[in-house]
A and B are shown apart, each in its own frame.
Chain A
Amino acid sequence: MALMTYSTKRLTEELQRSVELRNTAQKSADRPEPLPQGRFEASADVVAYVQKMRAYREQAKSVRVGRY
C-alpha cells in the first residue's frame, strides 16, 4: 500500500512554499525583516502531561516493592 502521510504531505507543501516565497522575496527585499518578539505559554496538553507525571511521581514515593 502506497502511503504518503499527512505529516509528510504537509512538510512537502511547506518546504515548496518556502522556496516560492524565497524566490519572490529575494526580488523585492534588500534587507531582512526584523524577527518579532513574542510570548510563550505552555499549552494545555503539556500542562496536563506534566501534572499527570507529577501526580504519578508523588504517588510512587510511597510504593516500594520487592527485593533486589
Chain B
Amino acid sequence: MADFRSTSGSAPEWFSTDGTFSNFEFVDTRFNSDPILRRILSLGRKLSYKGLLIEEIRESDCALLAEENQALAVRLTSFRRGRAFRLSLFANADRAAPGEFLGYAIYKQDEVAGIRVSHIYEAVIRPPRRHRQNNFVHCERPYDVTTALGRFSVNGVLYAQQNDATFVCAHVALRTLLSSMLAAGDVSYREINRFAGVDHADPARRVGNGASGLQPDQIEAVLRGFGFTPQLIVHEPSHGLPLPAHVEFQRLLYGYLESNLPVLIGFELTPSNATGPGPRHIIPIFGHTFNEDLWVPEAERVYFGHNPHNRTYYPSESWLSSYVGHDDNFGPYVCLPRHYLTAQSFRLLVGMLPNGTTVPPDEAEPIAFDFAAQVAATLPFSDVPWLDRFASFCRSGLLVLRTFSLARDAYVVELRRLKDRNDLDLEPQLIDRLAAHLPERFWVIEVSAPELFPGSRRKFGELLVAATTNSAGGLPEVVGARLPGVVFFVQGVAFNPERTRLTGHTDLYSYSAT
C-alpha cells in the first residue's frame, strides 16, 4: 500500500531556514500554529537544519491517506475531507544540494463540521542527542522517504499523534512500539483496530471523540495479534492489586528496555473539568539518559535506606537520569526524570519479552547475583588481581549489575571482541566450547563496580541466566559466567571453572556505536 513515505509529493516548495527564517512565524502562517509541528521544527534547530521541503500528499496518490479518510467518514458523519502535507528537513539551505536528510513530518488537516482540526499523523526525526551526550535511544531504525528531490533515509523512532476519533493515545503508543519491532517498520491503525476489536460504525466499539480509549486487554490483544509476548505490570491499589512492597516499577521497566525493546507506560492524570474523572494516558518509552556523575546510587542506600534490593548490589538503572520517549500530546523525544512518575500516578507497564524467553529480567538478575555471591564466598585467594577485586566488591555488597537479553550468536561475537588493558582476549577454543554449551538465548547480567561502570564503562565480566525454565515453577538456571581469568561452565547445580588468559576488565556491551 502506498504510504506517506513512499508517495512522491505534489507542489513542492523549498525554504531556506537559516538566516531570518522563523519557525514560529512559519507554523503560525502556514500550519495553524500547530504546537507539535513547532516542537518538531525546534528539534530541527537542534539538528542545525537549514532546508525545508513541503509537499502535498494527495489522496489519489496515497492509499493510506484514502484509508484514513474513509475511516473518519465512518466515525464522524460531519467529516468532509482530509488533506496531508509532508515537511522534510535537510542539513543544507541549497535545494540543489540539500545534504543530510534529518527527518520528516506528516501534517494532516481534517475538516469536521466546518472546522479544520489538525494533527501530526507521523514523524521520524533523527534523535537530537547521541551516546556522546549520554543519550541511549535503543529502538531507532532506518526509514526511506521518496520526495520530489529524490529518495532519502533517516534513522529514528516513529512518532504519531492521536486524532481522537479513529485512533487515541494507546493506538499511537502501540504504533511507535510496533514500528520499532516489526520487520515492516510500521503498522496501520486499521490493523491495530482489527486486533483491538474497534469498529467505527458501532457506537459501543468506537474510540475517541466522546467515546473512550483502549482497555489494557485490548492493548494486550493487539500485541499478541502481531506475534509478541507482552507482560503487563499493573499497579491498581484501589482495585486490590498494588505492586508488591519494595518493588519499583522503574526497575521493572528498565529490565525490558535494556534488552533493546520499547515499553509502554500508562498513568492516571489529575482529574479536571477538561478530562473528567479518572483519566489515563499511555506513552512509549524507548531509551534513557545516563548520568555518570550521579550522587543518587550511593545516597539512596547509605543516607536514606531506600530500596532494600540495592543493599546487596547496585542495579545499573541507578545511574539512569531520565527515560526517553514520545508523548503524543507534547511531541517526539521527551524526557521523563527517573523518579518523576511515582506509584501515586503509575498504573500500567507493558513490557515485551524477547522471542524464546519466558523468564522476566527481574527474576534473572537476583539469581545471577546469588551465583556471584556464592562464587565470591568460595573463591580462594587467586593470582588474578581483578578476580580478587570482583570477589571483594561482591562480598561488600558493592557490585553493579546490568541485565539484558542476548542471542547466543551475538554473545559469541561480543566474546571475540573483548580485550583487557593488556590486549589479552579469550582463547578461541574456549569461546567455541562455551558457545556449544549455551542455549540459543539467555539473560546476560554484566558485573561491574561503581568506579568502573559509570566512568570507563567497563566491567569484571558477565553472568548468564537461562531465558526459559525447565519446568513450571522451576527457578531460572545459571548457564555460564565469565569473570577475570576464569570462565564457568554451569550444568544444573554444578559449576566448573576454567582459567583464561583474559584477566582484566573489559568494555560493557553496546547495541550501537552512536
Contact = CB atoms under 8 A, between A and B. Distances in A.
Interface of A: 3, 5, 7-8, 10-11, 14-15, 18, 21-22, 25-26, 29, 32-33, 35-43, 46-47, 49-50, 52-53, 56-57, 59-61, 63-68
B217 interface: yes
A53 B363 contact: yes
Interface of B: 168-170, 173, 212-217, 219, 231-234, 236, 239-241, 243-244, 247, 266, 268, 278, 280-282, 302, 347-348, 360, 362-363, 366-367, 369-371, 373-375, 378-383, 385, 388-389, 391-393, 395-398, 475, 478, 486, 490, 493-499
B241 A63 contact: yes
B383 A15 contact: no
Contacts of A11: 392-393, 396, 398
A15 B392 contact: yes
Contact of B215 (A7, A35, A57, A64): A64
11 contacts: A11-B393, A14-B396, A18-B385, A18-B388, A22-B383, A57-B231, A61-B232, A63-B241, A65-B347, A68-B281, A68-B348
A46 B367 contact: yes
A33 B380 contact: yes
B213 A67 contact: yes
Contacts of A37: 494-497
B142 to A, nearest CB: 29
Nearest to B214: A68
B363 A65 contact: no
A3 B216 contact: no
A55 to B, nearest CB: 8
Nearest to B282: A68
A63 B216 CA distance: 9
A46 to B, nearest CB: 5
Nearest to B215: A67
What are the 4 A-B residue pairs with the smallest beta carbon separation, nearest first?
A14-B392, A11-B396, A68-B282, A67-B213
A65 to B, nearest CB: 5
Q: DSSP class of B's interface residues: helix, strand, loop or mixed?
A: mixed
B247 A60 contact: no
Nearest to A66: B280
B506 to A, nearest CB: 19
A40 B493 contact: yes
A64 B278 CA distance: 14
Contacts, number: 148
Contact of B396 (A8, A32, A35, A52): A8
A18 B392 contact: yes
Given A47-B475, A68-B214, 7 more contacts: A11-B398, A15-B392, A29-B383, A35-B380, A36-B378, A53-B360, A56-B243
Nearest to B243: A56
A5 B383 contact: no
Contacts of A43: 370, 373
A35 B302 contact: no
A60 B495 contact: no
A7 B202 CA distance: 63
Contacts of B385: 18, 22
A65 B395 CA distance: 43
A22 B381 CA distance: 8
A51 to B, nearest CB: 9
A50 B219 CA distance: 26
Contact of B495 (A25, A39, A50, A53): A39
B216 A66 contact: yes
A65 B379 contact: no
A34 to B, nearest CB: 8
A36 B217 CA distance: 51
B208 to A, nearest CB: 11
B449 to A, nearest CB: 9
A15 B495 contact: no
A35 B268 CA distance: 54
Contacts of B216: 64-66, 68
A53 B244 contact: yes
A59 to B, nearest CB: 6
B396 A66 contact: no
A50 B363 CA distance: 6
Contacts of A36: 378, 380, 497
A13 B202 CA distance: 72
A66 B236 CA distance: 10
Contacts of A8: 396, 398
A37 to B, nearest CB: 5
